[in-house]
Amino acid sequence: MSALLYRAMQLADCAVITQILSSINPWYLPVWQDNLSLYHCRVLLLNDHLVGVIVILNMIEEADIIYFAIQPNMQRKGLGRYLLQSALNELSQQRIKTVFLEVNASNYAAQSLYHHFDFVQIGLRENYYTIGSHKENAFIFSLILS
């Protein structure tokens, strides 16, 4: 039986996150360490192995998901859904009313996940992401928490 644990990110998690997400994440160890004091950082563990991370900026009644990732070889197993649902539940308990995020226009899997949670597209940031030598647009999504 698989055991999932959603919890606050700890300093020791930063090195693990840097290593397992290096192929999809340009952030380095000092950035992750700084995030701990600046943002609402949570991780997802599967059988005591870190498999996902979410970083959120809380601003009174609003929150902005600034980073959300599942370890690449663990994607498409429902872990992203579990991590996002856990974070949204926690934000709702904190009386957050609106959640925002940006998603790469070509990341259809992430967009599908966000639509599952009733996020709606409210805007576009042109040339927001740099992927290799080219730029990609980002969609701005929002969710009203009830």
DSSP string, 7-37: EE--HHHHHHHHHHTTTT----HHHHHHHHH
Residue of 6, 28, 90, 102 marked active site: 102
Whether residue 29 has pLDDT greater than 80: no
Residue 41 belongs to domain with CATH number: 3.40.630.30
Instruction: Describe the chain by its helix, strand, coil percentages, rounded to 5.
Output: 30, 40, 25
pLDDT value of position 1 = 52
Q: To the nearest whole percent, how much of the chain has pLDDT over 70?
A: 94
Domain coverage including residue 83: 4-144
Q: How many domains does the chain have?
A: 1
pLDDT of the residue at 130: 83
Calculate mean pLDDT across residues 64-77: 92
- Say which of 28, 82, 114, 136 is annotated catalytic: 114
Backbone angles phi, psi at 35, to 5 degrees: -60, -35
Residue 27 has pLDDT above 70, yes or no: no
pTM for this model (two decimals) = 0.90
CB 65 within 8 A of CB 100: yes
More confident residue, 21 or 8: 8
- 114 is an active site residue: yes
